[in-house]
């Protein structure tokens, strides 16, 4: 391409001479020329535009940018002999050109400071979660005074989706857990000829620990995430705002039915898991240890007391409360972006599983102290 534009320095007049067509087609050539000149070594400069034939916004931007760059370096710059149209264009471009902002480098904090910051952030989030639970508790107490305000259709819908539709996957996974436990325990018992004690071990481990814990973890992944995602999408679609406008609180219509529904469903799903986990253990015991189904069922009530089942079932409402409240809380914390729905859904599942395991450990310590 033929270059009809040029920029040079005249030492006698102490001027930067701009010549030719300062248009967008010449902008790359002019920029490369300007970079090769050591303009900053002169304390005062005059930019002369008398020989500019054509000037468009790109050329005006280059002149304005050059002027600002030299000014920042302590050079006093003056524009001279530009025609009225070029002067007007330069003033307009100079008024709109963005100043380059100097970003101060961020200091890297120490590991201890980072740990402290994370701790403070988590405590703030915990405080927000407890406030959310407290608000829902107040709304629940208000609803108990007015039974007509209960959303029975919403409650039955939650029981159907979280409970009935979850029966197949809970049954399959529980059966497989029972098979695995019977196999692992059976390998050790077979060495000592204590095959019959597989009934004792399976009953205690499944009814007391594995069935409630595994069911809660499966429900947190299936139902807790669904709570967060559905509430998050409602918030994105401004359905929550619409409910507030209509005078219906989200807690009354959306949150409390989910929490109560899951507290009803999880104990029932745990009983369902108990049945299929024991069934899986029976199948493996029969195939591996030659313990017939009749012998297994006759021994089971003799060695497994009722309190084992009650202890296992007693913790399920707490697990349900953890899953539902965390799922609903994270759903209500979704911001105005689809990406926030995914992040909060993942976060709700991770937090729910974490606190379920923490609660399980606390139950184990408490029951141990109570000699149960």
Q: What is the pLDDT of residue 105?
A: 61
Name the residue among 134, 368, 178 with its Cα closest to residue 286: 178
* Residues 6+ positions from 132 with CB-CB distance below 8 Å: 325, 328, 329, 332
> What is the pLDDT at residue 39?
60
Give the chain's largest Cα–Cα span.
115
Structure tokens at 12: 């006698």
- Around 254, how many Cα atoms within 13 Å sit in the side-chain half-sphere? 24
Predicted pLDDT of residue 317: 93
pLDDT value of residue 196 = 87
Per-residue confidence (pLDDT) for residue 36, from 0 to 100: 61
Alpha-helix runs per DSSP H in 220-292? 225-236, 239-246, 250, 256-289
Residue 3 has a pLDDT of: 58
Residue with tokens 């399980």: 360
Residue 282 corresponds to which tokens in the numbers above? 């029976």
Element (H, E) at 41: none
pTM beyond cutoff 0.85: no
CA atoms of 165 and 170, how far apart (whole Å)? 10
Sheet containing strand 6-10, edge to edge, reads: 6-10, 15-22, 44-55, 76-80
Angstrom distance (rounded) from CA 225 to CA 330: 9
Instruction: Tell me if 284 sits within 8 A of 182, measured CB to CB.
Output: yes
How is the chain split into domains, by residue range?
A: 6-96, 138-369
Please, are residues 270 and 312 in contact by the beta-carbon 8 Å criterion?
yes
Contact yes or no for 59/22 (Cβ under 8 A): yes
- Among 14, 91, 93, 26, CA closest to 53: 26
CATH number of 6-96: 3.30.750.24
- Burial (Cβ within 10 Å: 0-12, 13-18, ≥19) of residue 233: middle
Residue 160 sits at φ, ψ, to 5 deg, of: -70, -50
Each residue's pLDDT, cut to its tens digit, for the chain (372 residues) gives: 455 777 777 777 778 788 887 788 777 777 777 766 666 566 777 777 778 888 888 778 787 877 777 777 777 877 877 888 878 877 887 766 655 455 556 667 788 888 888 899 889 988 998 998 998 898 888 888 877 778 888 889 899 998 899 999 999 999 999 999 999 988 888 888 888 889 989 999 999 989 999 999 999 999 999 999 999 888 888 888 888 787 778 888 888 899 999 999 999 999 999 999 999 999 999 888 888 889 888 999 899 999 989 999 999 999 999 999 999 999 888 887 778 888 899 999 999 999 999 999 999 899 888 887
For position 171, what pLDDT does the model report?
94
Q: What is the pLDDT of residue 370?
A: 87
């Amino acid at each position: 391409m033929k270059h009809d534009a040029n920029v040079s320095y005249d030492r006698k007049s102490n001027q930067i001479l701009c010549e030719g067509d300062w248009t967008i087609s010449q902008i790359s050539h002019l920029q490369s020329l300007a970079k090769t000149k050591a303009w900053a070594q002169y304390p005062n400069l005059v930019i002369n535009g008398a020989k500019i034939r054509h000037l468009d916004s790109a050329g005006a931007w280059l002149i304005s940018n050059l002027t600002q760059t030299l000014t920042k370096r302590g050079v006093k710059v003056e524009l001279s002999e530009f025609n009225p149209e070029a002067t007007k264009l330069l003033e307009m471009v100079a008024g709109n050109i963005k100043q380059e902002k100097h970003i101060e480098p961020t200091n890297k904090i120490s590991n201890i400071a980072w740990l402290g910051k994370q701790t403070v952030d988590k405590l703030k989030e915990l405080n927000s979660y407890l406030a959310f639970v407290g608000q829902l508790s107040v709304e629940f107490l208000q609803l108990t005074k007015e039974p007509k305000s209960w959303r029975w259709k919403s409650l039955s819908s939650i029981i159907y989706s979280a409970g009935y539709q979850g029966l197949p996957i809970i049954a399959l996974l529980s059966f497989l857990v029972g098979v695995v436990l019977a196999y692992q325990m059976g390998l050790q018992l077979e060495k000592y000829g204590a095959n019959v004690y597989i009934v004792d071990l399976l009953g205690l481990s499944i009814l007391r620990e594995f069935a409630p814990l595994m069911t809660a973890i499966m429900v947190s992944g299936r139902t807790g995430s669904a709570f967060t995602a559905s509430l998050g999408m409602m918030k994105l679609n401004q359905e929550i705002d619409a409910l507030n406008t209509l005078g219906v609180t989200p807690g009354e219509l959306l949150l409390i039915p989910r929490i109560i529904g899951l507290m009803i469903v999880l104990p029932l799903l745990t009983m369902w898991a108990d049945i299929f986990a024991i069934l899986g253990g029976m199948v493996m015991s029969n195939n591996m240890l030659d313990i017939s189904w009749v012998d297994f069922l006759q021994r089971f009530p003799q060695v497994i007391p009722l309190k084992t089942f009650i202890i296992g079932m007693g913790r399920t409402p707490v697990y349900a409360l953890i899953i539902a409240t965390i799922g609903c809380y994270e759903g209500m914390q979704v911001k105005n972006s689809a990406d926030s729905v995914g992040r909060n859904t993942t976060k709700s599942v991770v937090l729910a599983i974490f606190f379920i395991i923490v609660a399980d450990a606390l139950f184990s310590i408490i029951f141990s102290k109570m000699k149960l």
